[in-house]
Amino acid sequence: MTQGSPPRLAGIELGGTKTIVTLGDGTRILESHALPTATPDETLEAALAQLAAWQAASPLAAIGIASFGPIRVTPDAADYGTILRTPKPGWSNTGVLEWVHARFACPIGVDTDVNAAALAEHAFGAGQGCSSLVYITIGTGLGAGIVVDGRPVHGLLHPELGHIRTRRAPGATFAGTCPFHGDCIEGLISGPALEARLPAHPGKLDPASPAWDEVVHDLAELLSTLVLSLSPQRIIIGGGVATRQPHLVERARTRLPAILAGYLPDLDHAAIERMICLPALGANAGPVGSLLLAHKALISDKI
């Protein structure tokens, strides 16, 4: 890095199905590589090999880790950067930060993949100018990142909204697929849940099919819970399910006023259209977010 040039940053976005390793000129993506999220050994060895190749070409100033959770995000905790008890088979108690620290001496930042994506959308995407936003990703699992005043929400751990329960549609019988909670919202509308509950593969099922009705209800109930509990200025819905089935987002927006039952009259159709949207950065929200975590770690290290 020459004086005055952006720092050379790298990011690892660990997702339930794929992992994306990114090189950035600051937070501008220069290069990205996707690889399957397999076992911890296979996945992290492959990711670190790519980082090592970039490091050999020119030193990395910092690295960001954006991981599926739950993961310890408290920097002074003994197990900082460790994935805790997760539905992802084989990944519980994986010390992701420990793996990276063993190979690289630069500053390393850690947060959830959804918090990282939320930060990216807040800085460069659909959440610009918002003091509060929620970023939901619906894919292999369901996660939500929350940003308030430019900072991700942490506390005891980090938000695990995928594992809350919402009010079911009358007569609903689907038991859900979550190995911990069954019919939590992740167990109802994640990718694996849709494949289990729908009469055909989601990609082949007509968007107008009544089979989608309960799914729409469940997503709208989640949105209602977020609106009433957090009152965010923006709710951004990303992930593979939302990307491949955008009709779910539109139908859930349409369903939301009925679930709110007139309680928030200012939240009319136009306001809902503004508040609930798809990510402006698309699939780049996570990779850009991982670079933001690297940049944050670099700045913190210099204070």
User: Looking at the structure, do residues 160 and 173 belong to the same domain, yes or no?
Assistant: yes
Residue 298 lies in a domain: no
Distance CA 72, CA 154 (A): 10
Q: Do 5 and 58 meet the contact criterion of CB atoms below 8 Å apart?
A: no
User: Looking at the structure, do residues 144 and 270 belong to the same domain, yes or no?
Assistant: yes
Q: Provide the strand spans (E) within the chain.
A: 8-14, 18-25, 28-36, 62-67, 108-112, 132-138, 142-148, 151-152, 234-238, 276-277
Q: What is the CATH number of the domain that holds 134?
A: 3.30.420.40
Nearest CA among 6, 61, 8 for reference residue 31 = 8
Residue 91 lies in a domain: yes
User: Looking at the structure, do residues 160 and 86 belong to the same domain, yes or no?
Assistant: no
User: Looking at the structure, do residues 22 and 101 belong to the same domain, yes or no?
Assistant: yes
User: Looking at the structure, do residues 101 and 188 belong to the same domain, yes or no?
Assistant: no
Residue 26 lies in a domain: yes
Provide the pLDDT for residue 15: 94
Distance CA 140, CA 190 (A): 6
Provide the pLDDT for residue 265: 86
Residue 173 lies in a domain: yes
Residue 75 lies in a domain: yes
Distance CA 255, CA 63 (A): 41
User: Looking at the structure, do residues 287 and 253 belong to the same domain, yes or no?
Assistant: no
Residue 61 lies in a domain: yes
pLDDT along the chain (303 residues), means of 10: 80 96 96 98 98 98 97 96 94 98 97 98 98 97 97 92 96 96 97 97 95 98 97 97 95 96 90 96 97 96 56
User: Looking at the structure, do residues 102 and 137 belong to the same domain, yes or no?
Assistant: no
Provide the pLDDT for residue 156: 87
Distance of CA 72 to the CA centre of its chain: 15
User: Looking at the structure, do residues 204 and 253 belong to the same domain, yes or no?
Assistant: yes
User: Looking at the structure, do residues 88 and 146 belong to the same domain, yes or no?
Assistant: no
Residues 6+ apart with CB under 8 A from 87: 141, 178, 179, 180, 186
Residue 218 lies in a domain: yes
Number of domains in the chain: 2
Residue 120 lies in a domain: no
User: Looking at the structure, do residues 221 and 268 belong to the same domain, yes or no?
Assistant: yes
User: Looking at the structure, do residues 202 and 174 belong to the same domain, yes or no?
Assistant: yes
The domain in which residue 246 lies consists of 126-279
